[in-house]
Copies of this chain bind each other. A is one copy, B any other.
């Protein structure tokens, strides 16, 4: 059994991680820390876990965490980087579900996250945990930067086209829509039910933290500079991301459906839908799948890719467990094989 620790875990990524780990056959949850909730039973905060998780939150305890095989950091940005060195030195694998180790360039990190990076020397050793790109490196990784939710959907949707050089990389459009749980479990007026329900809006059109992360990822696979317009929107639903991606084809002869099917044939968590499909976010609700459809409206020179994930699973906690499975040599789908909940 893999001994697991969690730092943080009082947010939606945390409860989802706990839900997945509570029934994971190879993981044993040993410790969960939270300064704010220390002393409180996990199941008091998250009533779905009553009878499934008996632990209580404790104050952060370096010794207990150091005794784990893997620690997930499910905290706000900027916390994992303060724990990373000690955990790595203790031989613990660290999977950060926040953003601390996603951007390789510490200057870029500081610019977008508003604070200097606490351990820039560790960035080069961190592996970006998108298994569909980095599976082999994840196997050997000690420090895994779990991708953001939007970046997971957008990258999986554009990768096959960029890897083959089929589209103009300089003018990509990612029109992305997220359920409200993506904003976290923090008390905030704009995510109150009475504000977010029966409403739809774009936000952060001027610039969003996931933009540099997406560009970095796409530049690595394409080898060329990326020009991306990224517009996120808030959808009145709890879970789910739908990315609608637009690109100009540079090669109009390619069989796009075949390109996607071949690229993801062996991937356990990417499902390329039949031609003409429109994936529902609910078709992946509570599951680790990404479902993708590719269209070329009117047979023109614009390709439209539709990619859906559950932002809390493939976009956060599920992908983190997938990374743990890979890093510990388990079957990659262990504990992640349940179908989505529909309706």
Contacts and interface: CB of A to CB of B under 8 A. Distances in A.
Interface of A: 12, 15, 19, 22-23, 46-52, 171, 173, 175, 177, 179-181, 183, 185-189, 191-203, 205-207, 227, 229-231, 233, 235-240, 242, 244, 246, 248, 271, 273, 276, 278-287, 289, 291, 295, 297-298, 300, 302, 304, 306, 308, 337-343
A154 to B, nearest CB: 14
A335 B124 CA distance: 43
Contacts of A246: 173, 175, 229, 246
A229 B177 contact: no
8 contacts: A183-B194, A187-B189, A193-B195, A195-B343, A201-B242, A205-B297, A206-B297, A341-B341
B205 A19 contact: no
Given A177-B177, A282-B199, A283-B48, A236 B233 contact: no
A242 B237 contact: no
A242 B233 contact: yes
B205 A281 contact: no
A83 to B, nearest CB: 25
A206 B276 contact: yes
B185 A280 contact: no
A157 to B, nearest CB: 12
Nearest to A190: B187
A242 B202 CA distance: 9
Contact of A19 (B189, B197, B201, B341): B341
A334 to B, nearest CB: 13
A57 to B, nearest CB: 16
B175 A244 contact: yes
A274 B48 CA distance: 14
A236 B236 contact: yes
Given A48-B339, A192-B192, A193-B193, A295 B205 contact: yes
Given A48-B339, A201-B280, A278-B205, A194 B173 contact: no
Contact of A194 (B206, B238, B287): B238
Q: Which of A177, A180, A191, A197 has the most CB of B within 10 A?
A: A197
Nearest to A312: B343
A233 B244 contact: yes
Contacts of A197: 180, 193, 197-198, 236-238, 343
A194 B343 contact: yes
A49 to B, nearest CB: 6
A198 B237 contact: yes
Contact of A196 (B181, B193, B230): B193
B240 A199 contact: yes
B343 A300 contact: no
Contacts of A23: 337-339
Given A201-B242, A242-B202, A48 B341 contact: yes
